[in-house]
Amino acid sequence: MGNNKKKKGFLYNLRKYSVPLAALLLAVIIILSVMIVSQTKRIDASRADYDAKLESLSSRLDRALTATAAETTTTTTVAETTTTSEAPTTTTTLPETTTTTEAPTTTTAKSSSSTGKSSSKVTLNYDVLSVDEAGVKHVKPGDDATAAYFKKMQDDYAKIYAINKDTFGWIKVQGTGIDYEVMKSSDNSYYLNRTYEKKKEKHGSIFADYRVTNDFSKTRNCCMYGHCMTDGTMFRSVRYFFENKYGDRDKVAKTMKIELLINGKVYIYSIFSGYKSEGARFIHNVNTAECSESEFYEYLKELQTSDSTKKVLVKQDIPFNKKSRIATLCTCTNAPGKPDERWVLHCILTEIVEL
């Protein structure tokens, strides 16, 4: 009987408190649900704010990149324009497709064009004295400006010769960066990496082939060599000519003159032919001891003809004969994998200026 009363009491109490307990449980569930919903809303709001900030940051980044790209384009355009403006000045005597640069002002032994900048152009006037068997005009300066021009070349040469008796002459090509002393030694390697002061230096010097005779009348092919320096110095201008940096090379060839001071006279050459070559044929027939007049005449015809060793890129129909003489400017092409390839420019003698 006692056990039955305990059972009834438990069941009675369970029924008595079931409703409040259920209500309490429901309240807890509701409270938890409200908290969960509230937290979810805060998370969603934070996520939305984060997305908005991310989108704003992305937009600013895009604008910044666009602005940077625009500035880079502008800078490149300016740089290219500046490069173009350094081309040579137009005159009646040299290429007409070039622009103004400062004329060299020599205050030391070498003119400022040794930096690779193009020299200004000067119109030269001559009085013709005679014409020799090769069709070369022997002339003298026709006015004071022309005389002063060549006097400066003589003075520049004299300053270097006073330092080094290996100084053979002076070469200048108006409207280009070529304006240098010409050295000569007993071989073709000494001045390859030495200055006129005989100091080791990667630029080296412009130098004449060792076979060029001191008695210049016996030299048929005055070969001269110089490095093709990336800073525009030495014979880099030869490459620039082939690359049309001074204007269309066929048009430029009609007016460009190579001026070579040797033994008190200035030898004026006009461009005859030019090409790339991996052979050494261009340095043949340097002096009268190497070939006869008829052999040299055939050699001149060969220089204007493409073959397996060269493709002629420029030539002019300038009259020549067996007594003609030339100067040859030679420099490396710097082409990868072609260490022996050269730019070669042959120029035929047209005038000799008696000073």
For 208-258, what is each residue's pLDDT tens digit? 999 999 999 999 999 999 999 999 999 999 999 999 999 999 999 999 999
249 CA to centre of own chain: 16
What's the burial of 1, exposed, middle or buried (CB within 10 Å: 0-12/13-18/19+)?
exposed
336 CA to centre of own chain: 16
pLDDT digits 0-9 by tens, 185-210: 999 999 999 999 999 999 999 999 99
Question: Is residue 322 a contact partner of residue 285, using CB atoms and an 8 Å limit?
Answer: no
Question: Taking residues 280-290, what's their average pLDDT?
Answer: 78
SS3 call for 161 = helix
Say how many residues make up the chain: 355
Exposure string of 63-74, with b = 16+ CB inside 10 Å and e = fewer, is: eeeeeeeeeeee
The pair of structure tokens assigned to 207 is: 């130098």
Question: Taking residues 42-66, what's their average pLDDT?
Answer: 52
Indicate if the pLDDT at residue 342 is higher than 80. Answer: yes
Query: H/E element holding 24?
Result: helix 2-85
Question: Is residue 269 a contact partner of residue 257, using CB atoms and an 8 Å limit?
Answer: yes
> Tokens 């990149």 map to which residue?
65
Which of the four pLDDT bands, split at 50, 70 and 90, describes residue 261? very high
Which of the four pLDDT bands, split at 50, 70 and 90, describes residue 309? confident
Exposure string of 120-159, with b = 16+ CB inside 10 Å and e = fewer, is: bbbebebeeeeeeeeebbebebeeeebbebbeebeebbeb
Whether the model pTM is above 0.75: no
> Tokens 């930096």 map to which residue?
115
The pair of structure tokens assigned to 202 is: 């990667």
Reported in sequence order, the residue ranges of the chain that DSSP labels E, i.e. its strands, are 126-131, 137-141, 167-173, 179-183, 206-208, 221-225, 257-262, 265-277, 310-315, 326-332, 342-354
The two beta strands, 206-208 and 221-225, are antiparallel
Which of the four pLDDT bands, split at 50, 70 and 90, describes residue 48? low
Question: Is residue 120 a contact partner of residue 144, using CB atoms and an 8 Å limit?
Answer: no
Indicate if the pLDDT at residue 112 is higher than 70. Answer: no
Residue 234's nearest CA partner among 277, 191, 293 is 191
Q: Range with the lowest mean pLDDT among 62-76, 187-201, 270-284?
A: 62-76
Question: Is residue 164 a contact partner of residue 183, using CB atoms and an 8 Å limit?
Answer: yes
Residue 64: predicted pLDDT: 47
pLDDT digits 0-9 by tens, 90-105: 332 323 333 333 333 3
> d(Cα 331, Cα 235) in Å, to the nearest integer?
6
For the chain, give the percent of residues with pLDDT over 70: 71
Within 13 Å of residue 313, how many CA atoms lie on the same side as its CB? 21
Residue 76: predicted pLDDT: 32
Q: Bigger pLDDT: 5 or 182?
A: 182
Mean per-residue pLDDT of the chain: 80
Indicate if the pLDDT at residue 84 is higher than 50. Answer: no
Question: Is residue 95 a contact partner of residue 64, using CB atoms and an 8 Å limit?
Answer: no
> d(Cα 193, Cα 205) in Å, to the nearest integer?
7
> d(Cα 80, Cα 88) in Å, to the nearest integer?
16
Which of the four pLDDT bands, split at 50, 70 and 90, describes residue 9? low
Indicate if the pLDDT at residue 144 is higher than 80. Answer: yes
Residue 15: phi and psi, rounded to 5, are -70, -35
